Amino acid sequence: MNALLTDIRELIVSARKAVVHSVDLIQVVTNFDIGRRIVEHEQQGAERAKYGKQSIQELAKQLTGEFGKGFSERNLRSMRKFYLLYSDRFPEEYRTSSGGLTINASLLRIWQMPSAKSSHPFTLSWSQYVFLTSIANGEERSFYEIEAAENSWTLPELRRQFDSGLYVRLALSRDKQELLRLSLEGQIVSRPEDLLKEPYILEFLGLEEKSKYSETELESAIIDNLEHFLLELGKGFLFEARQKRFTFDEDHFFVDLVFYNRLLRCYVLIDLKIGKLTHQNLGQMQMYVNYFDRFVKLADERPTIGIILCRKKHDALVEITLPSDANIHAKEYQLYLPDKEQLREKLVQWSEDAERLIDILSKDSADT
């Protein structure tokens, strides 16, 4: 009986998800085509385009009276903008002779098949696309669409990731080629560097930026909000332990947080520091990483990664303390959402500095 109940429960949950996805897809496609018709109506002549605002107001009034508030002037403008930003999504085989869309039940079933995921014209809900259309940068908008679909983000999760500047924080640790890849493929995790971002944003902990708190309180707040912390860490993380104890030469040592990343197949150790980063902190993490590499990880697993989360790091100290190939990273964290404009300014500055360095290296190479 238990097996039958489980089987039927899974069937019902799967069916409901399919229905929800179908409804979402139909709504998105319908709104896309409404936007197309509005744009083409406006473009029929300069005189008609001139009175486009009045046309949308009148259209909203008529549709709202017949179909409800989903067709307000604001929503119709969102549909128009949606079409303008995503007008290349449908290939010619889905279009009628008049340019409209041919969407039927069989096509919807094909799009719902896992094997056809790459052929989906749209992968998110209408409310998520309305939010995405507010992102001016096309590469950034593409990144968030890919990540939201692959990680099944809800609208609040999508908003939070955008508000935390995830795209820019990841971009700051990548070269130009990898930056382009972010917008085309999302975050691909194939090496330790792909996991890193800076700063890490921990506003969900509810700790006051100016209040005094201990490392133990910071750790406890993270454990209490573990789901959010895993989302902030990124893809593939599994939680293993807090205050993981190991003994070496009769001395006991404790790692604040131990995770495993299933994509890289390696342990990730996190040490929390609220004070100034010191070379002793770096040396301690190096010992933790060495211990896990020699006594914990399996032969076919990748080397352990160590991350020190601190309020303020010292790049020069890190560089002089650790070997260049060390799998240890000091990263700053913030207890509030960042100013995205400041992050973007950093990205622009990073790009300009990178270009100047390339020019210098190119000239040196030519001279030699």
pLDDT tens digits for 274-332? 988 998 999 999 999 999 999 999 999 999 999 999 998 887 888 888 877 789 999 99
Residue 349 lies in a domain: no
Count of domains for the chain:
2
Residue 279 placed within a domain: yes
Range of the domain at 312: 198-337
pLDDT higher than threshold 50 for residue 116: no
Assign 92 a pLDDT band (cuts: 50, 70, 90): low
Specify the pLDDT at position 121: 76
Q: What confidence score (pLDDT) does residue 115 get? A: 45
User: What whole-number distance in Å separates Cα of residue 149 and Cα of residue 158?
Assistant: 10
> What pLDDT does residue 354 have?
57
Could you tell me the CA-to-CA distances from 286 to 25, 38, 119, 274, 322 in Å, in that order?
Answer: 50, 61, 46, 19, 9
Of 76, 93, 117, the one marking the end of a domain is 117
Whether 147 is covered by a domain: the verdict is no
Backbone dihedral angles phi then psi of residue 297, each to the nearest 5 degrees: -65, 150
Mean pLDDT for the chain?
Answer: 82
Burial bucket for residue 232 (CB in 10 Å: 0-12, 13-18, 19+): buried
**How much is the pLDDT for 210?**
67
How big is the CA angle at 111 (ends 121 and 147), to the nearest 5 degrees?
55
Q: What is the DSSP letter of 95?
A: B
Specify if 182 maps to a domain: no
Q: 294 near 288, Cβ under 8 Å?
A: no
Same domain for 330 and 211: yes
CA distances from 342 to 112, 187, 302 (A): 40, 22, 35
Whether 145 has a pLDDT exceeding 90, the answer reads: yes
Residues in the chain, total: 368
Looking from the CA of 128 toward its CB, the CA atoms found within 13 Å total 25
Which residues lie below 8 Å from residue 103, measured CB to CB, with a gap of 6+?
26, 29, 94
pLDDT given for residue 135 in this prediction: 95
38 located within any domain: yes
Last residue of a domain, one of 63, 84, 117: 117
Amino acid symbol at 82: F
Mind listing the pLDDT tens digit for each residue in 51-69? 456 688 889 999 998 888 8
205 and 302 fall within a common domain:
yes
What is the predicted pLDDT for the residue at 47?
47
- In a shared domain, residues 224 and 317: yes
For residues 211 and 323, state if they share a domain: yes
Mean pLDDT of 215-232: 95
Return the minimum-mean-pLDDT range out of 57-66, 142-151, 174-183. 174-183
Residue 217 lies in a domain: yes
User: 193 — alpha (psi -120 to 50), left (phi > 0) or beta?
Assistant: alpha
CB count, 10 Å around CB of 164?
Answer: 25
Same domain, 109 and 205: no
pLDDT tens readout for residues 237-282: 999 999 999 998 889 999 999 999 999 999 999 999 998 899 899 9
* CB distance 94 to 102 below 8 Å: yes
In a domain, 183, yes or no: no
Domain's final residue, options 77, 94, 117: 117
Query: Does residue 332 share a domain with residue 214?
Result: yes
In which band, very low, low, confident or very high, does the pLDDT at 120 lie, cut at 50, 70 and 90?
A: low
* Cα–Cα separations (whole angstroms), residue 263 to 131, 246, 350: 29, 25, 28
The answer to whether position 255 is within a domain reads yes
User: Mean pLDDT over residues 333-345, rounded?
Assistant: 82
Residue 20 has pLDDT above 70, yes or no: no
Number of H helices, E strands in the chain: 15, 6
